[in-house]
């Protein structure tokens, strides 16, 4: 069975001048994939009548499903709704259910005492040729249209509202409307190896993959995810076959593999610590709390993450972590001695099982001949043992911070496994 194709159209000049990064379409694609719909094209166009119209025409030649986000807000740069109305040959009418919902939101959620503004009321207007998809999370409703055997779905651009509509309205309706094939993915995460070496290692295996299975390399900083995608009719057969291939792949890359799930490095660490009922804390200079953020942003992190001391200022390194003035004045803040002392100090202060410590020069300024931009010392340890390692990253500031965090988390992972 061939998969059903979708196109995602995101609308808004802000996307085209690079002021906003589109995260909506990634979420939409993930949700569609889970039910066996393949996203063939993703397109962003500006708030221009002709460009949107042309996009609707073109994408419906490519795909049976067209999902449109953005262009539904209450402000004047939004032209999507009148356009959709004309495109599908309807007229705008107030939808009473939507209007009641907007009134409810203003009274009970936004708690605005004033009467509704005209432009807020207008959000209850929908083309009379669409099926309204109620948006519990906001004022702009979703809309479902049919034309020339294609389904067009328009969703608000606010991520939180779009997500609610996708999950509660769009996905169940698409499953009812189409007969869908099965798409399965298996993903693993590697750290510390480049694409080329991975590819060499698994070349023979990859060449023998059956045609309905596909391997993708997804590099991201110092990490590469490998993903097998399989498409077919029979879920059980497909699962079994995919599992067999995945076991072979895991065997081939085991020296670099962090985890055999579609997880981030910090999620893999959280899983590892949970299994061992252990906790971690951080003492961060150059990463400025970024590792703390990574360790605390997933649900349930309080069971394995204790806290951090961000010692951006050297005085904080001295006062809270016990790094001596002598060390700071002789070998300096970016040194093995400093990060080792930071681990010791933070173990005492925060009382976790493990501490990660970082100190380095992230750039663009602050480098010297002896300590160039990108030089970083990382230490990990517990009460018994501390390991420190020097790195030299060669990127711009934000990527140096990211790379330092990845290297530090991978050092922690290996340290925990060695215990």
Is the sign of the CA dihedral 294, 296, 297, 299 positive or negative? positive
Stretch of 141-149, 171-179, 218-226, 265-273 contacting a second copy, by CB under 8 A: 218-226
Binding map of a second copy across residues 329-368, x = CB under 8 A, - = no contact: --------------------xxx-----------xxxx--
And the tokens for 175?
């499953």
128-157 residues near a second copy, rule: CB under 8 A: none
Please identify, using beta-carbon distances, which residue of 91 and 208 lies nearer to a second copy. Answer: 208
Q: Please report, as residue ranges, which positions from 294 to 333 form the binding site for a second copy (by CB under 8 A).
A: 295-297, 299-302, 305-313, 315-316, 319-320
Interface mask (CB under 8 A) for a second copy, residues 389-408, using x and -?
Answer: -----xxxxxx-x-------
Residue with smaller CB distance to a second copy, 73 or 142: 73
Min CB(118)–a second copy separation in Å = 9
Supply the minimum distance, in Å, between the C-beta of residue 213 and a second copy.
12
Q: Is the peptide bond prior to 322 cis by the omega test (within 30 degrees of 0)?
A: no
For residue 16, give the 3-state DSSP assignment.
helix
Q: Shortest approach of a second copy to residue 405 CB, angstroms? A: 10
| C-alpha closest to that of 183 among 224, 225, 213, 151 | 213
In this chain, which stretch among 173-181, 232-240, 291-299, 408-416 interacts with a second copy, using CB under 8 A?
Answer: 291-299
- CA pair distance 357, 344, nearest whole angstrom: 10
Contact 67, 155 (CB under 8 A): yes
For residue 166, the SS3 value is helix
* Least distance (Å) between residue 414 CB and a second copy: 21
Question: Taking CB under 8 A as the rule, does residue 417 contact a second copy?
Answer: no
Where do the H-state alpha helices sit in 105-194? 118-121, 159-165, 171-177
Q: Which single residue is written with the structure tokens 């660490």? A: 269
CB of 139 to a second copy, least distance (A): 9
| 121 contacts a second copy (rule: CB under 8 A) | no
* Residues 164-203, mask of contacts with a second copy (x by CB under 8 A): ---------------------x-x------xxxxxxx--x
Would you say 255 and 190 are in contact if contact means Cβ atoms under 8 Å apart? no
Q: Is 75 in the site for a second copy (CB under 8 A)?
A: yes
CB of 162: closest distance to a second copy in angstroms? Answer: 13
Residue of 158, 140, 129 whose CA lies nearest to 98: 140
Compute the least distance from the CB of residue 113 to a second copy, in Å.
13
Q: Where are the alpha helices (DSSP H) in 325-370?
A: 325-330, 336-350
Q: Of 129, 132, 215, 252, which one interacts with a second copy (CB under 8 A)?
A: 215
Q: How far apart are CA 149 and CA 151, in angstroms?
A: 7
Question: Is 69 near a second copy (CB under 8 A)?
Answer: no
228 binds a second copy (CB under 8 A): no
- The count of other CB atoms within 10 Å of the CB of residue 229 is 17
Residue (198 or 386) nearer to a second copy, CB? 198
What whole-number distance in Å separates Cα of residue 180 and Cα of residue 242? 19
List helix spans (H) across 107-152: 118-121
Tallying the residues shown for the chain, one arrives at 419
Q: How far is the CB of 339 from a second copy (least distance, A)?
A: 16
């Amino acid at each position: 069975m061939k998969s059903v194709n979708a196109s995602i159209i995101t609308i808004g000049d802000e996307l085209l001048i690079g002021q906003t990064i589109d995260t909506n379409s990634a979420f939409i694609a993930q949700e569609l994939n889970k039910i066996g719909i393949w996203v063939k094209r993703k397109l962003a166009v500006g708030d221009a009548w002709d460009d949107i119209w042309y996009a609707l025409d073109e994408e419906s030649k490519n795909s049976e499903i067209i999902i449109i986000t953005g262009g539904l807000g209450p402000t004047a740069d939004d032209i999507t709704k009148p356009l959709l109305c004309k495109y599908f040959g309807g007229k705008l009418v107030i939808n009473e259910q939507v209007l009641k919902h907007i009134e409810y939101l203003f009274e009970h959620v936004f708690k605005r005492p004033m009467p509704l503004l005209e432009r807020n009321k207008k959000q209850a207007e929908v083309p009379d040729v669409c099926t309204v998809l109620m948006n519990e999370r906001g004022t702009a409703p979703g809309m479902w249209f049919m034309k020339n055997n294609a389904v067009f779905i328009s969703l608000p651009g606010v991520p939180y509202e779009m997500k609610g509509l996708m999950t509660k309205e769009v996905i169940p309706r698409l499953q009812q409307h189409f007969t869908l094939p099965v798409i399965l993915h298996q993903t693993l995460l590697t750290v510390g190896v480049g694409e080329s070496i991975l590819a060499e290692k698994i070349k023979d295996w990859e060449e023998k993959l059956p045609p309905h299975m596909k391997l993708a390399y997804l590099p991201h900083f110092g990490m590469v995810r490998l993903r097998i995608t399989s498409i077919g009719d029979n879920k059980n057969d497909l699962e079994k076959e995919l599992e067999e291939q995945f076991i072979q792949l895991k065997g081939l890359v085991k020296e670099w593999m962090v985890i055999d799930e579609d997880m981030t490095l910090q999620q893999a660490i959280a899983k590892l610590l949970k299994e061992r009922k252990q906790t971690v804390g951080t003492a961060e200079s150059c990463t400025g709390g970024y590792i703390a953020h990574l360790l605390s942003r997933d649900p349930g992190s309080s069971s394995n993450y204790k806290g951090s001391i961000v010692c951006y200022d050297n005085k904080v390194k001295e006062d809270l972590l016990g790094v001596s003035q002598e060390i700071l004045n002789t070998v300096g803040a970016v040194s093995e001695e400093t990060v080792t002392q930071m681990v010791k100090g933070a173990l005492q202060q925060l009382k976790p099982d493990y501490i990660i410590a970082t100190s380095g020069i992230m750039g663009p300024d602050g480098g010297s001949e002896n300590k160039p931009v990108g030089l970083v010392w990382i230490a990990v340890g517990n009460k018994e043992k501390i390991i420190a390692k020097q790195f030299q990253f060669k990127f711009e500031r934000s990527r140096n911070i990211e790379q330092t965090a990845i290297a530090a988390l991978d050092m922690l992972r290996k340290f925990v496994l060695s215990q």
